[in-house]
């Protein structure tokens, strides 16, 4: 293990770059105590650079050690590298995958990603009467989570997430990308009331130029929303940076951060046109 850099990012965080090591060295525990409550560790396997990732580390709760999979350049973006997500995403990318399977996979990946996205939901203590005695239990507190799919393709992600969080509310934002200008054109906006205290998850499989995501999030903020995250399956570096620029408070969760956009604004390698593949309209 080689510690290349330690840089305090703010009062409570530090970045350590490690090579050839995926495990947290015990020495970092002391470092955490020295620097503060949290520490971010970038583990880099020289032979497998694609496995680079940031690992979240909490001094007081060693068991919460888990991979966040982000990089300093794209600090607003977390890549969910769960093996099932990556396996299913590869089938999704395959040009031969038929519409029916495509739809099922979008649904399943969204559900798996929602598991990550809901990891920080607040809990409140409750009494639970088992058949034998009353004990303490937990239930998710706060206002109901609100899912906001961007039409059309975001619709494919809703049901999977609702299976995990059936009480979630669902708003809708209608946008399409003009094929020549690539600018988003909005045609529908409907979200639940009581916006200020809700957590919003904006859903769209694709973050390409970022125009649609920026427009949807701007509309949500205009309506009073402030706690917004963006959940997608494939993101481009251009889209991630555009969101970082225009809505730096919005975290992106994605299953993949792809290489680039082509001249028509499609993500490479990507998976093609998500809406067309979901609804068989190509």
Q: Let me know if 93 is a catalytic residue.
A: no
Q: Beta strand 184-190 with 206-207: parallel, antiparallel or unpaired?
A: unpaired
Q: Let me know if 186 is a catalytic residue.
A: no
User: How many chain residues bind ligand PRP (CB under 6 A)?
Assistant: 23
Contacted by 210, from ligand PRP, ligand URA, none: CB < 5 to 8 Å by type: ligand PRP
**Residue numbers 104-143 binding ligand PRP by CB under 6 A:** none
Does 171 bind ligand PRP (CB under 6 A)? Our answer is no
The active-site residue, picked from 71, 75, 186, 273, is 273
Distance between CA 5 and CA 241 in Å, rounded? 24
Q: What would you report as the CA-atom Rg of the chain, rounded to the nearest whole angstrom?
A: 20
Contacted by 184, from ligand PRP, ligand URA, none: CB < 5 to 8 Å by type: ligand PRP
Q: Collapsing DSSP states into helix, strand and coil, what is residue 237? A: helix
Q: Compare residues 53 and 205 and give the one whose CB is closer to ligand PRP.
A: 205
Mutual angle of helices 83-93 and 99-117, in 10-degree steps: 150
Q: Which of 150, 168, 255, 257 binds ligand PRP (CB under 6 A)?
A: 150
Contacted by 270, from ligand URA, ligand PRP, none: CB < 5 to 8 Å by type: ligand URA
For residues 39, 44, 49, 50, the Cα torsion angle rounded to the nearest 10 degrees is -30
Distance between CA 131 and CA 137 in Å, rounded? 14
Does 212 bind ligand PRP (CB under 6 A)? Our answer is yes
Q: Which of 161, 206, 216, 250 binds ligand URA (CB under 6 A)?
A: 206
Q: Let me know if 97 is a catalytic residue.
A: no
Q: Which of 41, 114, 175, 267 binds ligand URA (CB under 6 A)?
A: 267
Tokens 């009467």 — which residue?
129
Does 176 bind ligand PRP (CB under 6 A)? Our answer is yes
Does 191 bind ligand URA (CB under 6 A)? Our answer is no
| Tally of CB atoms within 10 A around 188 | 9
Does 111 bind ligand URA (CB under 6 A)? Our answer is no
Binding residues for ligand PRP, per CB under 6 A?
Answer: 150, 152-153, 175-177, 182, 184, 204-213, 239, 265, 273-275
């Amino acid at each position: 293990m080689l510690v290349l850099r330690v840089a305090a990012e703010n009062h409570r965080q530090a970045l350590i770059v490690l090579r050839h090591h995926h495990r947290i060295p015990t020495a970092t525990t002391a470092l955490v105590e020295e620097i503060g409550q949290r520490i971010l560790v970038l583990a880099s396997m020289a032979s497998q650079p694609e496995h680079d990732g940031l690992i979240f580390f909490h001094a007081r709760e060693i068991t919460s050690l888990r991979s966040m999979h982000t990089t300093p350049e794209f600090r607003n973006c977390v890549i969910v590298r769960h093996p099932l997500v990556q396996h299913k995403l590869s089938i999704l990318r395959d040009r031969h995958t038929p519409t029916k399977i495509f739809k099922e996979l979008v649904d399943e990946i969204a559900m798996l990603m929602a598991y990550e996205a809901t990891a920080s939901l607040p809990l409140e203590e409750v009494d639970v009467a088992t058949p034998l005695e009353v004990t303490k239990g937990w239930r998710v507190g706060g206002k109901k989570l609100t899912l906001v799919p961007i039409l059309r393709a975001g619709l494919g992600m809703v049901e999977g997430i609702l299976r995990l969080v059936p009480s979630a509310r669902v708003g809708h934002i209608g946008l399409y990308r003009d094929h020549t200008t690539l600018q988003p054109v909005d045609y529908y906006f409907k979200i639940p009331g009581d916006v200020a205290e809700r957590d919003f998850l904006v859903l769209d499989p694709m973050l390409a130029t970022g125009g649609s995501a920026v427009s949807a999030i701007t509309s949500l903020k205009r309506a009073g929303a402030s706690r917004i995250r963006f959940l997608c399956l494939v993101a481009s570096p251009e889209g991630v940076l555009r969101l970082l620029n225009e809505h730096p408070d919005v975290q992106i969760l994605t299953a993949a951060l792809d290489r680039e956009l082509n001249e028509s604004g499609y993500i490479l390698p990507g998976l093609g046109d998500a809406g067309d593949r979901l609804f068989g309209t190509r």
